[in-house]
Amino acid sequence: MTTLVTGAGGFIGLNATERLLASGEPVVALTLGPLRPEAARAFAALPGRLSVEIGDVCDVASLRGVLARHGVRRVLHTAAVTAGPDADPARAAAVLDVNVAGTNAVLILAREAGVERVVLTSSSAVYGDAPFGPAPVTEETPPRAASLYALSKLASEGLAVQARAFGLDVVRARLTAIYGAWEHDTGVRDTLSPPLQIATAAARGEPVAIAAGGFRDWTPGPEIAAALVRLLAAERPRHDLYNLGCGRIWDPVILCRALAAAQPGWTWRRSEEPSIAYNDALDRTRLSPPSPARFEAEFGPAFGEPEAGVAAYAAWARAHGTLLTGGR
């Protein structure tokens, strides 16, 4: 069964594409430009069949042709412009074009093509400040979208709900903060994850200063990809909305220690003047990261302990230093 992955050049799309190909599935990767050479080489060794289509989700005619040409039966929609909380309002049109109009095009054309399942990647950003409060954050928590990005994701979810009403099988997945394999600077994210910034500095041999705060429920990309693929393949999901994430906050010091062990001579320290950028409030603690309980109750354990994910990422970063540094 052929799956179209939109935004396949982004690191969520790359992880999902890798997961599908490893399972022997045919995948159509829709991307704005060629896949990174490192990814193309890795994917060529996998049993699934990969077709790469250069295109934009906002190009309706091109997208319609891709769906028809490849006989796409499932769609994983990850294409998005990730704007930070302080994004310039002048970028609003570009963000809304991709995140809302692009999503609308994907949903309309998927229904037109008779696609059997669409999985839409949304974001835990729609919960706003709720994770800083004491109440558990579940799929029943009312959205409190405040940023441009969160508002665009909430709008895309509304389009998905509407598409379900018209007969399209759409499942929404609210993703938490993600890091890990294949994350790199694609130019469409305002702030790269702190774990990526730390790993990039380590790959360059540059010392890092990390803040005392800034703990988050960062979740490895491969674990998120595995959960998304489960949602694509599930015969009858019990719900149309799932939180995906480890559900636990952790201190990036464990990543620093793992990278230092893998790369002797590299150094890091705590500082009130961190050398990395945090897309988060450093003076508040996330008491209630979005819970994956609904997903795991239905599909089984999906998210491991942070230490295991960090160890796997340190090894991956060691092997893919040129991707992190851009060849430098």
Point out the residues that are catalytic.
149
Residue type, 70: H
- Label the pairing between strands 178-179 and 219-220: parallel
The residues, ordered by sequence, that sit 6+ positions from 110 with a Cβ below 8 Å of its Cβ are: 67, 75, 118, 163, 168
* Contact predicate 99/153, CB 8 Å: yes
Q: Give the number of C-alpha atoms closer than 13 A to the C-alpha of residue 217, restricted to the C-beta side.
A: 25
How many Å apart are CA 238 and CA 182, to the nearest integer? 31
3-class SS at 254?
A: helix
Residue type, 312: A
Structure tokens at 260: 């230092």
Q: What CA dihedral angle connects 196, 15, 145 and 216, to 10 degrees?
A: -40
257: exposed, middle or buried (C-beta count within 10 Å: 0-12, 13-18, 19+)?
A: middle
How many Å apart are CA 46 and CA 36, to the nearest integer? 16
E-assigned strand segments in the chain:
3-6, 27-31, 50-54, 74-77, 117-123, 170-175, 178-179, 208-210, 219-220, 241-244, 268-270
